[in-house]
Homo-oligomer: A and B are copies of this chain.
Amino acid sequence: MPETAGAVVAQGRRTCDRYSGCEGKPGPAMKGPSAADALRPVARTFRMLGVSDVGELAEFVKLVRIEHGIVRGDMLLSSAHTGKHLTMLLGGLACTFRRQEDGTRQIYTFRHPGDFIDLHRYVFPQADEQHLEVEALATCSIATIDNQSADQIVEHHPAFGRALWLAAMIEVNIARTRLAAMRWPAMRRVAHLLCEQLARRLSYGIDNGVIPISQIEVADATGLSTVHTNRVFQDLRKLGVLAMKRQTVEVVNKQRLQELAEFDARYLSADEHLSRWSVRPVL
């Protein structure tokens, strides 16, 4: 199916075109991203994770298969993908979640361009049992590389292994931070979640204060009820911190949001790109 890129994106239903994780370059991309453009997040991510050798990177990129036009609501990593892959999100937004017995769903993390979305599948032999799902929240494109190729690269170029390992460690940091956040009052919890997403997008070069998620998704990620989440959002709007359109959060006042969240981006370990987020003094 899609993999020639280009035209394919346009063929997509484009349900949420304006919400897609546009990198904010209004340049000459009118006719769809070239493969090189699309793969920019790959380079950025690996560079950030310590893979500096251009040759190594090129070798990895050669083995990658691109898929465009995955629309909101689609499952990335469906059972169709049982053939084991290593997958990176190139554009758009997605979330990793699990449905609990009582019907509620817990969103573990939001996925931004440059994120690996199936490390667990790559690492664990029987990861399907975990019932971890990944769903597109905006029009997405992904890059996949099959397990065997990935294995070989990791074996021959230790830097890649370390990069993936580092990515896993950052996931630990994120999960732990969210864990600690569950004890905070609702307002701070929501504010912190939004700060996290802003920071992550910023580190991938996306700097419009826009996050294409609904209140429901925020609720599922923070563990709050949708009703209470809604009330928090109203408060945040009254404070002039953010605006909200259907399924879109727009952060108007980053500074204030960050204060409300008492946000300290260091746990994301994306130093280079976070200069704009003040590092709070050690308490």
A108 and B171 in contact (CB under 8 A), knowing A124-B269, A161-B158, A165-B161? no
Are the CB atoms of A169 and B266 closer together than 8 Å? no
Does chain B have a CB within 8 A of A56?
no
Does chain B have a CB within 8 A of A61?
no
Residues of B within 8 A of A161 (CB): 158, 161-162, 165
Binary contact readout A144-169 vs B (1 if CB under 8 angstroms, 0 otherwise):
00000000001100100110111011
Does chain B have a CB within 8 A of A183?
yes
Are the CB atoms of A179 and B106 closer together than 8 Å? yes
Q: Chain A interface: which size bin?
A: 35 or more
Does chain B have a CB within 8 A of A16?
no
Q: Which of A100, A169, A173, A269 has the most CB of B within 10 A?
A: A169
A282 CA to B128 CA, complexed, in Å: 11
Are the CB atoms of B180 and A129 closer together than 8 Å? no
* Shortest distance between the CB of A199 and any CB in chain B (Å): 16
* Shortest distance between the CB of A270 and any CB in chain B (Å): 12
- Nearest to A271 among chain B residues (CB) is B126
Does chain B have a CB within 8 A of A176?
yes
Are the CB atoms of A120 and B162 closer together than 8 Å? no
Residues of B within 8 A of A178 (CB): 179
Which of B130, B176, B267 interacts with A267 by CB under 8 Å? B130
Binding site for B on A (CB under 8 A): 98, 100-101, 104, 106, 108, 119-120, 123-124, 129-131, 154-155, 158, 161-162, 164-166, 168-169, 171-173, 175-176, 178-180, 182-183, 223, 262, 266-267, 269, 282-283
Q: Could you show 28 A-B contacts with beta carbons less than 8 Å apart?
A: A100-B180, A101-B262, A104-B183, A106-B183, A108-B176, A108-B180, A119-B169, A120-B172, A120-B173, A123-B165, A129-B282, A130-B266, A130-B267, A155-B158, A161-B165, A164-B165, A165-B165, A165-B168, A168-B169, A172-B172, A172-B175, A175-B176, A175-B179, A178-B179, A179-B179, A179-B182, A182-B182, A182-B223
